[in-house]
Structure 1
Amino acid sequence: MAIEPPFFEKYKAILQSSANEKEKPSTVEGFEELELPLIDLSHLNLGPLERQECIEKMGQAAIEWGFFQIVNHAVPDELLNRLKQEQIKVFQQPFDKKSENNFLNLSVQSYRWGNPLATSLRNLSWSEALHISLKDISKMDEYNKLRSTIEEYAEKANFLAQRLAEYLAQNLGIKANYFQENCSPSSSSLRMNRYPPCPYPSMMFGIIPHTDTDFLTIVSQDQVGGLQLKRNGRWVSVKPNPKALVVNIGDFYQALSNGVYKSITHRVIANQETERYSAAYFYCPTYETVIESCSKPSLYKKFSFKEYREQIQKDVKATGDKVGLSRFLL
């Protein structure tokens, strides 16, 4: 049975009507390839000077790039490899099974592909994903190796994300227990992505340009590449480093930092020949958490996670795109 989502059948009309669009995605060739700032977290365990330098370097990357990569992060390579193998097993299942409402006993629409609201190539994603709210893990088969692997990874990723968020907060004067009070393991989520080979990579994205709706995202990725971010008004390709984890600032940290840390627009370019895998851990607050800028005058009005999500849903339904933080500017 076929494992691939029916992209061509679903988007046939868009592909035909968009043949003459002026603004299209592009292949990865032709873009400058840059390495993200590399943070060695082992320096946090050295002397006070090395520790402070590491924290300041992290903060500077969050200001200038909105992205950085980390090594010596205490997430074992064996666990990351096991997560990827379980991820591959999931996506190699028949499409008809993956698209069932009770797939893996998870919430409806945990398995996603393409973009059901796409109206043009500009908002069409050539990818499939399993988006797991971590409060739903208990619904999965307790003897399932995927469940045990996700539970183990989520525990490590949550601990890491909280540490990173707290270190970044030190540069802003945010109280040390802010994230402990407003985030919990069950409020975060894990998204496992697969980007199938795309016959027409110059016509569509792997994932459309977007920012992340969270405080921090931690991404493990393979060697294929395709991640791009917008830097100084132009798109640049990120040189893949499978030995490092990628960290990026989300919308909530930009609002909390009053615009000091940047939630940067990023995307994934489709690949014609090679499939790509990644797993993104989204470090999120509880739905009731109110996000308020840490300094005055504030760029943003106060909002809760719930209000932000509801606004995104309205905007996506109306326009096909997430508008994001600009909706909450003062």
Structure 2
Amino acid sequence: MAPRIPMSMGGESLAAEEPPVIDLSGITKPERRREIGRSISEALETWGFFQITNHGVEEALMKKTIEVFTEFFQSPDEEKLSIQRKISGASGITQGYSRPRTDGPALLNATEFLYNVYGPGTKEELGDNTDNRPSQPPSFRSTVEEYVESVDGLALAILGLISESLGLPQTTLPMYTSRAHGVRANYYQPTKDRVEKVFSVYPHTDPSVLTILHTNDLPATQVRKDDRWVQISPVPGAFLVNVGDLTEILSNGRYRSFEHRGLPHETQHRLTIATFIRPLPTTVVEPIPLLIDESHPPLYKSQLYRSYLQGFIRKGLDSRSLIEAAKISIV
């Protein structure tokens, strides 16, 4: 991909280069699979991000998913506020709709959020605590469930490739993940005021193993590389993929979790749908033992994923502070 002309945003200069676009076609053919694995490894070592095409998720389903989320966010406040965020039973997971609490008209123009858990393992992990999902439009739940199940299969394929790129069996990273996935939709109101917290998703890294992002194709996702912000141009029909803090820990630092942020578009509503592939709360997260030897001692502490996630909830979106605190101090 040819470099793009640098742009400025919020008084900052943006870098011209972008994370690569990787074609997954031919993934079952051994030589092609090795080529894809090398491309992913290089992308993760350099960017922590990449886009994927020919991923197997039906274009019609992707489009329908954007439509039902958009229709939900454009529904009356009464409908959205009926499923405000709350803790879902004994799971401790907070699900539902939210937007920043501010005074005056800023509330109406704020970025809105919706977070729920979906996927094949949802009932096992949460039981029947799914009442804080939207019921409108009528096709919302069935569409999102179908979408997340399809993304679940894609995630397993990507995790297999990442495992192999680390010299591990392709089943390795999938063993550290739950089949219940957090799905967070962000609905950005159009505005030129991209600095205010009420309009943006602040710089952060993800408390996940893998994040798979679907958007309505408006650019405003940025990743920090070499102390410069890089704006990613969405490829129609592609997913944007990044590794989270847990992959940095599991890989013992080979694949780093890169800081990123989300901003609104100046003239159009922007929608992003992030599917977080994460461990079970009781999973012990530490560098994978097969990657540890005398020359490669563990660089990160061992802890339950539940503890790591609670730390993320306490700190909020705070750059790389949480993953940096997970490192073992070397005296």
What is the TM-score with the length of structure 1 in the denominator?
Answer: 0.80
Cα drift, residue 223 of structure 1:
2.5
Residue number among 324, 327, 330 corresponding to 1:326 in the alignment = 324
Q: Distance in 2 between matches of 1:283 and 1:108?
A: 16
Match of 1:254 in 2: 248
Q: Does 1:313 align with 2:313?
A: yes
**One-letter code of the match for 2:309?**
R
Residue number among 112, 115, 122 corresponding to 2:98 in the alignment = 112
Distance 1:224 1:165, change over 3 A: same
Match of 1:9 in 2: none
Q: Which 5+ residue runs of structure 2 have no aligned equivalent?
A: 1-7, 103-108
Q: Does 1:67 align with 2:67?
A: no
Residue number among 25, 28, 45 corresponding to 1:42 in the alignment = 25
**More helix as a share of residues:** 1
Match of 2:4 in 1: none
Tell me the alpha carbon deviations over residues 262-288 of structure 1, each in whole angstroms, 9 at most, x when there is no partner: 211001223332110111110011000
Q: Distance in 2 between matches of 1:233 and 1:305?
A: 29
Match of 2:115 in 1: 131
Q: Is the 8 A contact 1:216 1:283 kept in 2?
A: yes
Greater mean alpha carbon deviation, residues 279-288 or residues 218-227: 218-227
Match of 1:191 in 2: 184
Cα drift, residue 173 of structure 1:
3.0
Cα drift, residue 182 of structure 1:
3.3
Q: Is the 8 A contact 2:43 2:49 kept in 1?
A: yes
Q: What SS does the aligned partner of 1:129 have?
A: strand
**One-letter code of the match for 1:314?**
R
Say what the alpha-carbon RMSD is for the aligned residues: 2.9
Tell me the alpha carbon deviations over residues 216-251 of structure 1, each in whole angstroms, 9 at most, x when there is no partner: 001111222111110112111112212211100110
How many correspondences in the alignment?
294
Tell me the alpha carbon deviations over residues 250-308 of structure 1, each in whole angstroms, 9 at most, x when there is no partner: 10001100111121100122333211011111001100011111233111011111010
**One-letter code of the match for 2:43?**
A
Q: Is the 8 A contact 2:117 2:183 kept in 1?
A: yes
- What are the within-5 Å matches in structure 2 for residues 28-39 of structure 1? 30-39=13-22
Q: Distance in 2 between matches of 1:240 and 1:176?
A: 28
Tell me the alpha carbon deviations over residues 113-134 of structure 1, each in whole angstroms, 9 at most, x when there is no partner: 2378xxxxxxxx9411111122
What is the TM-score with the length of structure 2 in the denominator?
Answer: 0.80
Q: What SS does the aligned partner of 1:293 have?
A: coil
Q: Does 1:281 align with 2:264?
A: no
Q: What SS does the aligned partner of 1:44 have?
A: coil
Q: What SS does the aligned partner of 2:25 have?
A: helix
Q: Is the 8 A contact 1:227 1:266 kept in 2?
A: yes
Greater mean alpha carbon deviation, residues 167-176 or residues 219-228: 167-176
Q: Distance in 1 between matches of 2:136 and 2:303?
A: 37
Cα drift, residue 76 of structure 1:
0.4
Match of 2:143 in 1: 149
Distance 1:328 1:35, change over 3 A: closer
Greater mean alpha carbon deviation, residues 290-299 or residues 61-70: 290-299
Tell me the alpha carbon deviations over residues 71-115 of structure 1, each in whole angstroms, 9 at most, x when there is no partner: 010000000000011011110112233123468xx8865112237
Match of 2:157 in 1: 163
Distance 1:324 1:102, change over 3 A: closer
Q: Which 5+ residue runs of structure 1 have no aligned equivalent?
A: 1-24, 117-124
Q: Distance in 2 between matches of 1:143 and 1:269?
A: 26
Distance 1:198 1:178, change over 3 A: same
Distance 1:60 1:328, change over 3 A: same
Q: Distance in 1 between matches of 2:32 and 2:152?
A: 24
Distance 1:228 1:28, change over 3 A: farther
Greater mean alpha carbon deviation, residues 266-275 or residues 175-184: 175-184
Match of 2:5 in 1: none
- Whose relative contact order is higher, 1 or 2, with alpha carbons under 8 Å and at least 6 apart? 1
Distance 1:96 1:323, change over 3 A: farther
Q: Distance in 1 between matches of 2:137 and 2:264?
A: 35
- What are the within-5 Å matches in structure 2 for residues 219-298 of structure 1? 219-294=213-288, 295-296=291-292, 297-298=297-298
Q: Distance in 2 between matches of 1:245 and 1:320?
A: 25
**One-letter code of the match for 2:97?**
Y
Report percent identity of matched pairs. 29
Q: Distance in 2 between matches of 1:40 and 1:55?
A: 11
Distance 1:115 1:109, change over 3 A: farther
